[in-house]
A and B are shown apart, each in its own frame.
Chain A
Amino acid sequence: MTSTSTRDLVSQPYKYGFVTEIETDKIAKGLSEDVVRLISAKKEEPAFLLDFRLKAFRHWLTLDEPDWAALGYSAIDYQDIVYYAAPKQQEKKASLDEVDPKLLETFDKLGIPLSEQKRLSNVAVDAVFDSVSIATTYKEKLAEHGVVFCSFSEAVKEHPELIERYLGSVVASNDNYFAALNSAVFSDGSFVFIPKGVECPMELSTYFRINSGDTGQFERTLIVAEEGASVSYLEGCTAPMFDTNQLHAAVVELVALDDASIKYSTVQNWYAGDENGVGGIYNFVTKRGQCRGDRSRISWTQVETGSAITWKYPSCLLQGADSVGEFYSVALTNNCQQADTGTKMIHVGPRTRSTIVSKGISAGRSSNSYRGLVQMGPNAKGARNYSQCDSMLIGDQAAANTYPYIRSQQPQAAIEHEASTCRISEDQLFYLQSRGIGFEEAVSMMVSGFCRDVFNQLPMEFAAEADKLLALKLEGSVG
């Protein structure tokens, strides 16, 4: 090979790795019932929420951390984490002009301008910094349509009845270890409510930023689409570079009633650690959507490029008759990153349909596993699933695994599963190079070709972004 080598290619610096110097209101490290009560008190929560937290915490104490995933990492010391950190400012601001300019500047640097003049024209953004939401754009305009889009804390104050009705209704507080932890200590996140018959007039987006080095981020997102409503929602994530690991354990719940449709897209670019695997985010996330109503539809699209550890299975519970679940995923791992990700499609109702398209790319010494469950319940007559899981290996030290689980209790359900593994071959690269295309561009062309089916599912504004992100992540990884 010429002077470029696949292994050198991946060492592109992470450009979101800066830390914002800002005074924070942090509680002491450690987790106990008192800490849970303290978080709830700081947020002036109603009694039902404190009860929800305490129940979750007591249950969490009885659980063991799961170890079935194909992941290896040093034990997490749950007493060495700060469970609440917020930039010091009084109250949530009525207008952006009152938000600390340092925070606005931070989001500017991340490419998420929040100020009136610069903000994205057709995307409403909720910006979450460490444990709290600092601003939400276009709230008034959305309110005209009856759409509620605000931070979770605000929703608790302004729409407690909705929170009480839906919180924990899809992911119960005792669902799993990390969901229970989140339910006990979650600090903020986004809430979306689309009333009956309303098509949300713009893209909604939440941008999560971890800033503190010793803080865990536990956000909670809840999206409810009533009968006939539809919404497209996107989340983005970044964090500074620290040589310690930060824990991120989020819970996302989606509820779609009759004929409702929710499209949820994620571009995850948490700090992944350095080339030797030092530092990076531990990302343990529970995401689940419930197609509660007939003919409802939930679609997950994820582009996972960051985090040292990814443990994440956005799932669909297909309850309503003729409801549809979709999962489109690109997971890229490089250096020492490890990802164990996939989905669960639980077919309960008749004629429910699901599609799974997973593209895993492993470079460096990373390990990338697809883990997915397709389950056909006894009433899922005429239900169908199609799964396609493709893996691409770059270099000769990366690993790719596929763990498909299929369970069917319904003889009249159809399940199709296809899987493939490929490697970017020297001959393919040479072919592109011999046509004047540079080595790195050749790699990124092949990778984005591989991911095209998934990128096509992203909202247009973000598809190009995702393409660039992948190219950036792979720089230096091939050779």
Chain B
Amino acid sequence: MIRPDAELLLDINDLHASVEDKPILKGVNLQVRAGEIHAVMGRNGSGKSTLSKVLAGHPAYRVTGGTVRYRNQDLFDLEPEERARLGVFLGFQYPVEIPGVSNLEFLRVSTNARREKQGEEELDTFAFEDHVHDKLKVVQMDPAFLERSVNEGFSGGEKKRNEILQMALLEPVVAILDETDSGLDIDALRIVAGGVNQLATENNATLLITHYQRLLDEITPDYVHVMAAGQILRTGGRELALELEQTGYDWVDRELAAQGAA
């Protein structure tokens, strides 16, 4: 839902970032307001995933230029955990396994860290169990997953559902979902997309990083951005995704070549 007067949640200006001294982001500009759903598309290596990691504060990525303001404060002043507590959420493409750490306990500590920041009371073990059981429904997840170690031995689809469960618990202001659709069969994709749709409100925003159009059949974006060579090359509405579906990314190469020549 596009409302020009809605709060500007994320304001990315000329963002440059590199990994191991290799520049990946080369001047990204993007504004995200409350209520909006953005899709960032592009080929592998275009910088989409790097953008999501930089926003969440992954230590392997170094910001080399530009600014990002989150709700009017400098995002890069904040540690990753601080960003999360303030409502920035990254749904991982490859959620890591953490052996020995109980999923339930992890979810509880995480939820309480966010609640504390919002001035809400901490949930004890019992209260949290009730709370989490409500949220399980969002992703149709079996409570048995709560008893296991974080993501350990989960299938690809189970890991992604666990990500959306975390999103449901943390109630983020800006949710960045990095290739959440990758590796999912169509049923799992529908469940995950259904979860994202249920969680989208007029007060939050979603940034979908995706390679394929098929996720966008389930979640309707307000904006579609095409990334290439570390920049947003073109921005449009939903129709841009459909156009990409038909024409592929070849035009991107032509456009980049033209830019290079210019």
Interface residues of A (CB under 8 A from B): 1-4, 422, 425-428, 430-439, 441-442, 445-446, 448-452
B170 part of interface (Cβ distance < 8 Å): yes
Is the beta-carbon distance between A436 and B92 smaller than 8 angstroms? no
**Which 5 pairs, one residue from A and one from B, show the smallest C-beta to C-beta distance?**
A449-B100, A436-B113, A435-B110, A436-B84, A449-B101
A-binding segment of B24-32, B54-62, B199-207: B54-62
A427-B96, A445-B109 known; A1+B81 contact, CB < 8 A? no
The number of chain B residues touching the other chain, given as a range, is 20 to 34
Give Cα distance in the complex from A430 to B60, angstroms. 10
Is the beta-carbon distance between B100 and A430 smaller than 8 angstroms? no
Among B84, B99, B114, B149, the residue within 8 A (CB) of A433 is B84
Among A427, A431, A434, A441, the residue within 8 A (CB) of B109 is A441
Interface residues of B (CB under 8 A from A): 56-60, 79-81, 83-85, 89-90, 92, 95-96, 98-102, 105-106, 109-110, 113-114, 117, 149, 166, 170
Is the beta-carbon distance between A436 and B170 smaller than 8 angstroms? yes
Is the beta-carbon distance between A446 and B98 smaller than 8 angstroms? yes
Is the beta-carbon distance between B81 and A437 smaller than 8 angstroms? yes
Some 15 contacts from A to B, beta carbons below 8 A apart, are A1-B59, A427-B96, A430-B57, A433-B84, A434-B57, A434-B83, A435-B81, A435-B84, A436-B81, A437-B113, A445-B101, A446-B100, A448-B100, A449-B98, A449-B101
Residues on B with beta carbons closer than 8 Å to the beta carbon of A430: 56-59, 80
Is the beta-carbon distance between A431 and B95 smaller than 8 angstroms? yes
Among A431, A434, A441, A451, the residue within 8 A (CB) of B98 is A431
Give Cα distance in the complex from A438 to B81, angstroms. 6
Is the beta-carbon distance between A452 and B100 smaller than 8 angstroms? yes
CB distance from B209 to the nearest CB of A (A): 15
Beyond contacts A3-B79, A436-B114, A445-B101: 4 other A-B pairs, Cβ-Cβ < 8 A, are: A1-B59, A2-B59, A434-B56, A434-B81
Is the beta-carbon distance between A431 and B96 smaller than 8 angstroms? yes
Give Cα distance in the complex from A4 to B79, angstroms. 10
Is the beta-carbon distance between A445 and B81 smaller than 8 angstroms? no
A441-B109, A452-B100 known; A434+B80 contact, CB < 8 A? yes
Is the beta-carbon distance between B101 and A426 smaller than 8 angstroms? no
> Which residue of A is nearest B78, CB measured?
A2
Residues on B with beta carbons closer than 8 Å to the beta carbon of A2: 57, 59, 79-80
Is the beta-carbon distance between B98 and A436 smaller than 8 angstroms? no
> Which residue of B is nearest A426, CB measured?
B59
Is the beta-carbon distance between A449 and B149 smaller than 8 angstroms? yes
Give Cα distance in the complex from A441 to B173, angstroms. 24
Among B106, B114, B170, the residue within 8 A (CB) of A432 is B106
CB distance from B91 to the nearest CB of A (A): 10
Most A C-beta atoms less than 10 A away, residue of B79, B85, B98, B109: B98
Give Cα distance in the complex from A448 to B109, angstroms. 14
Give Cα distance in the complex from A284 to B156, angstroms. 49
CB distance from A61 to the nearest CB of B (A): 48
CB distance from B193 to the nearest CB of A (A): 22
Residues on A with beta carbons closer than 8 Å to the beta carbon of B84: 433-436
CB distance from B254 to the nearest CB of A (A): 37
Give Cα distance in the complex from A185 to B85, angstroms. 58
Is the beta-carbon distance between B79 and A428 smaller than 8 angstroms? no
Is the beta-carbon distance between A426 and B60 smaller than 8 angstroms? yes
Residues on B with beta carbons closer than 8 Å to the beta carbon of A439: 79, 81
Residues on A with beta carbons closer than 8 Å to the beta carbon of B113: 435-438
Give Cα distance in the complex from A70 to B79, angstroms. 40
Residues on B with beta carbons closer than 8 Å to the beta carbon of A446: 98, 100-101
Give Cα distance in the complex from A435 to B117, angstroms. 13
CB distance from B181 to the nearest CB of A (A): 20
> Which residue of B is nearest A429, CB measured?
B59
CB distance from B50 to the nearest CB of A (A): 14
Most B C-beta atoms less than 10 A away, residue of A431, A441, A446: A431
Give Cα distance in the complex from A442 to B84, angstroms. 14
A426-B59, A437-B109 known; A432+B98 contact, CB < 8 A? yes
Is the beta-carbon distance between B59 and A449 smaller than 8 angstroms? no
Residues on B with beta carbons closer than 8 Å to the beta carbon of A437: 81, 106, 109-110, 113
Is the beta-carbon distance between B110 and A436 smaller than 8 angstroms? yes
Give Cα distance in the complex from A451 to B100, angstroms. 8
CB distance from A476 to the nearest CB of B (A): 16
Give Cα distance in the complex from A179 to B84, angstroms. 55
Is the beta-carbon distance between B59 and A436 smaller than 8 angstroms? no
Residues on A with beta carbons closer than 8 Å to the beta carbon of B90: 434
Is the beta-carbon distance between A433 and B79 smaller than 8 angstroms? yes
Give Cα distance in the complex from A376 to B99, angstroms. 33
Residues on B with beta carbons closer than 8 Å to the beta carbon of A451: 100
> Which residue of A is nearest B84, CB measured?
A436
Is the beta-carbon distance between B81 and A428 smaller than 8 angstroms? no
> Which residue of A is nearest B80, CB measured?
A433
Give Cα distance in the complex from A450 to B98, angstroms. 10
CB distance from B175 to the nearest CB of A (A): 12
Is the beta-carbon distance between A433 and B101 smaller than 8 angstroms? no
Give Cα distance in the complex from A428 to B94, angstroms. 11
> Which residue of A is nearest B59, CB measured?
A1
Residues on A with beta carbons closer than 8 Å to the beta carbon of B85: 436
CB distance from B17 to the nearest CB of A (A): 15
CB distance from A167 to the nearest CB of B (A): 41
> Which residue of A is nearest B88, CB measured?
A434
> Which residue of A is nearest B95, CB measured?
A431
CB distance from B4 to the nearest CB of A (A): 31
Residues on A with beta carbons closer than 8 Å to the beta carbon of B102: 449
Residues on B with beta carbons closer than 8 Å to the beta carbon of A3: 79
> Which residue of B is nearest A450, CB measured?
B100
Give Cα distance in the complex from A4 to B105, angstroms. 24
Give Cα distance in the complex from A422 to B101, angstroms. 14
Give Cα distance in the complex from A2 to B99, angstroms. 25
Residues on A with beta carbons closer than 8 Å to the beta carbon of B101: 445-446, 449
Among A428, A435, A448, the residue within 8 A (CB) of B166 is A435
Give Cα distance in the complex from A431 to B93, angstroms. 11
Give Cα distance in the complex from A431 to B91, angstroms. 10
Give Cα distance in the complex from A452 to B101, angstroms. 9
> Which residue of A is nearest B166, CB measured?
A435
